[in-house]
Copies of this chain bind each other. A is one copy, B any other.
Amino acid sequence: MRQQMIDMVYRVQDEICDALMEIDTVDFREDIWERDEGGGGRSRVLSGGQVFEKAGVNVSVVHGTLEPEAARAMGGGHSLSDNDLDFFATGISLVLHPQNPMAPSVHANYRYFERGDGVKDGSWWFGGGADLTPSYLFKEDARFFHTTLKAVCDRHEVADYPKFKQWCDEYFHIPHRKEGRGIGGIFFDDLHSFDKQTCFNFVEDCASSFLSSYIPILDRRKDTPFNDRNKLWQQVRRGRYVEFNLVYDRGTTFGLRTNGRIESILMSLPLTARWEYCHEVEPDSEEEQLLDILMNPIDWA
C-alpha cells in the first residue's frame, strides 16, 4: 500500500501541475526536499501568474519514530499502544489562490498513515478532503463542486457524502468569526473500513477527480470583470483564510510545532491578505450574501 499510495500522489501531482500550467503563464518552482528524520517531498509552487496569485501542489513521503505526544496529535490509531511509535505518512496537498476575486480558492489533501506495524487493526488509515473558498458566491459553482464530490463518494461503499460534507463544515470553521472558511466540500479522517485497497480506491478516485471538480469553475470565473471593491473584499477574505490556517488548522499548527518544512507548510497561505478594522458588508450586497452562507451552511448536492 505504501508504494501504491506514493505512486498515486506523484502521478496526481504531475497531472494537476500539467493542467495548471496549461491555464497559467508562469511555471512552477520545484523543490525536492529531504527530512533529517526520514523521508522528504516534492513541493511545487507558482506565484504571481496571470491566473493564479499563488498555487502550491506538494507531495511528501515521511517516516520515522514519533514522540508519544506527536503520535496522539497525529490522530487515528485508537487501538494502538504507546509503543507503536514508528510511523509512515504520505500524501498530496494543494492550495490554489486565483487572482480574480470571482474565482474561488480551493484546497485538497489526500493522505495515508501507518503507525506501528501497519497491519493490525488501527495501525493504518486514510484521510483527506477538498473544499472551496469563494469571495463571491456563485450558487452554480457551489452546486457543481459538491455534486462532483458526491458522485465520487457515491461510487464507493466506504464513503459517506452527507457525513463527510458535515465533517468538512465543522472542520473548516472559524469559531471567533462564527463563519466557515468557505462553502465546504468533503473531509474525512481515520478512514479504515473494509480493507486498505477498498479505502485506497476511494481516495485515488477523489484525488483523480480534483481537476474535474474545480477547473470548470475556474474557467467560468477567471476572466470575469471586477472592480476595486471586489479586490478589497477578496483581500479581506484572504485574511480570514490566514486566520483559520494559523490558528486552527491541525496540519499547519502541528507542522509549525514539530519542525516540518516551513515553506511547504505555509505555502497554503495566500500571497497577500488584509485586515480592515471593523470591516462591514453592505446590507443586501453580494458580500453579505456570501457571509450569510458562511454563517449558515446549506446542502448543495
Question: A residues bordering B, Cβ < 8 Å?
Answer: 29, 31, 45, 47, 54, 56, 175-177, 235, 239, 242-243, 246-247, 253, 256-257, 262-263, 266-267, 269-278
Contacts and interface: CB of A to CB of B under 8 A. Distances in A.
Contacts of A273: 242, 272-275
Contact of A45 (B257, B271, B277): B277
Contact of A269 (B45, B177, B262, B275): B275
Given A176-B262, A253-B247, A262-B177, A54 B242 contact: no
Given A175-B256, A267-B277, A271-B274, 16 more contacts: A29-B277, A29-B278, A31-B278, A47-B276, A47-B277, A175-B257, A176-B256, A176-B257, A176-B262, A242-B246, A242-B273, A243-B246, A246-B246, A246-B247, A271-B275, A272-B274
Contacts of A262: 176-177
A91 B271 CA distance: 35
Contacts of A263: 277-278
